Structure 1
Amino acid sequence: MLVRLFRHFQRKCLLLLFAVCILCIYLSAFFLRAYDLKNKILCYKHVESKESLSTSMVYFDDISNANKQPIPGKAIFFHETSCSTTGIAKLNAKQACAIESTALWNPDRDIFVIFASSVGLDSNEHMPPFIGELLKYENIHLRNMDLWEYSAGTPVAEWVKTNDLFKSRFLYEHMSDYLRAVTLYKFGGLYMDLDIVVQKSLKDLGEDFLGDDWGEVVAGGVMHLNNFGIGREVSGRYLKGVINTFDVDDFLANGPTLLTQICADICKTTNRTLWTRERCSGLKLQPKETFYPISWTDYLMYFEPVAREEALKLAMNSTLIHVWNDRSSKIWNKVGTNNAYQSTAEKNCPLVWGSSEYF
């Protein structure tokens, strides 16, 4: 009898211990997620008094109150959305090449590089030489922003205050999806990803366009939308879609997938070959060869010397090349490697290419 009672008591204790362990694991995970979320948010909080933290640190002007403002519909925008815990601007040579090639081919247009995490340059820290080369271009403007203030006056002004954006598994990418829509809603103009190299003037592309992709969705890596007319309709629908369908777990959902659905609704067909300006209320879908001459499935063609000639031939008539950073970000070769990417970079971002060790 006593043995039976003891075993019964022992089982209850084990069950209780198991339940306590499960609860501890759950609470630990909960508090770790909360701590992680708080740190993510803090990294993007704009601190007005940052200048006082270091006498050698010079922070970039805020895009909202800088003297030089984007000309509506004419400016070109890049977004750098990573978190900088040091306050020092993060740009690598490939990103700098995207910026220089754009400035080189479009000297009459202002290029705004907007950092989501408030950053600047520290005179006491080693600055990569290519950053100095970018500063030689008078039409390149490096800017900071406050995510919450920047969203004011747009359809997502209240939604961004929920901080649901920071729950994303793909924060940098989803923030980029979000910010390009906010920027084009506010200012209008041309947005481009930082993994491109421009190889001809952009002036002949016109306005209010997207670029077709090789996959099932439209790419958002290069897009012009005015802040009026069909451009404002697309960016407005985009931001309302973020509010209603934001998906923290899907890499494409808040960008290309959402953009594709909006365009299909406007054009009243999912057949992208029928997306003409006439059918789509003035919106144009540029052919994939314009911005994406090589599919994401073949991105290695840009970096393999054996594929150099074929890749250059495929991209010969393209306005720019896009090297699919989500796949190629870890590929770095010594400057002078005989591949298509470096051949393109040497011609179109000569100062950055020439001052870099790896590309």
Structure 2
Amino acid sequence: MQPQPLVLCAIESAARVYQDRPVVFFMKGFRDVDLEDNEKHTRYFPTLSSRENIYIFPLVMDEILKGTPLHSWYNKSNPEKERYWIHTLADSCRLALIWKYGGLYMDTDIITLRPVPCKNFLAGQHSKYSSNGIFGFSSNHNFTWACMESFVQNYDGGVWGSQGPTLFTRILKQLCDLPDFEDIKDISCENISFLHPRRFYPIGYGGWTQFYEVWDTFPTFNDSYAVHLWNYMNQKERRTMVPGSNTLVDHLYKNHCPSTYKAIQRNESLYL
């Protein structure tokens, strides 16, 4: 019930950029509440409560996966024997949600800068390798259905990412012979746009500490729609945004999630 400040920043930044679309955040803490009472849940998060297009929904896996190939897999699974169960659940529900309802999925360590102009797209993490941390499809798209089928048929819970980036990459390569990225050009694969890594990963995994360094001149990220902050490493190294530090993450918060930034700056509670 107390998501990290980066999560609140991610939600706020998305809501500011996509003002004409609902931005939905799913939380396990609301699993027992009335499903029709969702609109009021933003009151628990003061920095989000003023944004009318943000909705907090309970994460009810059985409901989300119902009607998909993932439902029977979920019911037969034994979480105690799964090494990466939380990651696998996250991989499964994002596929089911986008297949059912369409739209854009984003991990909560992604700060949105500007709208993604493509409806059906995958994000390249590097050449010939797709991320599943951000993607978008129309409802009932054949790619998301093929991913769910392959998820079950080729399930390997002992390998991290097997049902995530590796799965997306495998299905994409079945559709197209992917070339290497050139310059900052995206790749078209049938009716799917495979977007250049700079669109969402302008700072790669190996350079993640740059977000917490002081910059004389901040990058414009003019070629990016959003910025992925590699939260696994942030948590592992206990790095946080410090207001006024003049670091890159300080700059991103200040400009793209100002309500969250100001609350942290004033040492106000982020939670009701």
Shorter-normalised TM range: 0.7 to 0.9
Q: Check if 1:322 corresponds to 2:253.
A: no
Amino acid at match of 1:244: Q
Secondary structure at the counterpart of residue 300 of structure 1? helix
Aligned to 2:168: 259
Amino acid at match of 1:151: L
Secondary structure at the counterpart of residue 205 of structure 1? coil
Which of 235, 241, 252 is 1:344 aligned to? 252
CA distance, structure 2, for counterparts of residue 215 and residue 290 of structure 1: 13
Which of 20, 43, 57 is 1:143 aligned to? 57
Amino acid at match of 2:169: T
Which of 239, 256, 270 is 1:331 aligned to? 239
How far off is 1:244 after superposition?
1.5
Residues 101 and 199 in structure 1, CA contact (< 8 A), matched pair in contact too: yes
Aligned to 1:198: 112
**Which is richer in helix?**
1
The 1:195/1:210 distance shift into structure 2, 3 A limit, reads same
CA distance, structure 1, for counterparts of residue 99 and residue 92 of structure 2: 11
Residues 110 and 227 in structure 2, CA contact (< 8 A), matched pair in contact too: yes
The structure 1 segments of at least 4 consecutive aligned residues displaced by more than 6 Å after TM superposition are none
Residues 335 and 356 in structure 1, CA contact (< 8 A), matched pair in contact too: yes
Aligned CA-pair RMSD: 2.5
Q: Which of structures 1 and 2 has the bigger CA Rg?
A: 1
How far off is 1:102 after superposition?
0.7
The 1:300/1:134 distance shift into structure 2, 3 A limit, reads same
Larger relative contact order, structure 1 or 2 (CA cutoff 8 Å, min sep 6):
2
Aligned to 1:91: 3
Secondary structure at the counterpart of residue 293 of structure 1? coil
CA distance, structure 2, for counterparts of residue 111 and residue 283 of structure 1: 23
The 1:145/1:265 distance shift into structure 2, 3 A limit, reads same
Secondary structure at the counterpart of residue 21 of structure 2? coil
CA distance, structure 1, for counterparts of residue 25 and residue 32 of structure 2: 12
Amino acid at match of 1:172: I
Which of 162, 170, 173 is 2:84 aligned to? 170
CA distance, structure 2, for counterparts of residue 313 and residue 301 of structure 1: 11
How far off is 1:119 after superposition?
5.0
Please, what TM-score do these two structures have when normalized by structure 2?
A: 0.85
Please, what TM-score do these two structures have when normalized by structure 1?
A: 0.65
Deviations 1:271-329 (A, max 9, x none): 3549843xx22001111111110111100111112xx246x326343111101112122
Amino acid at match of 2:247: N
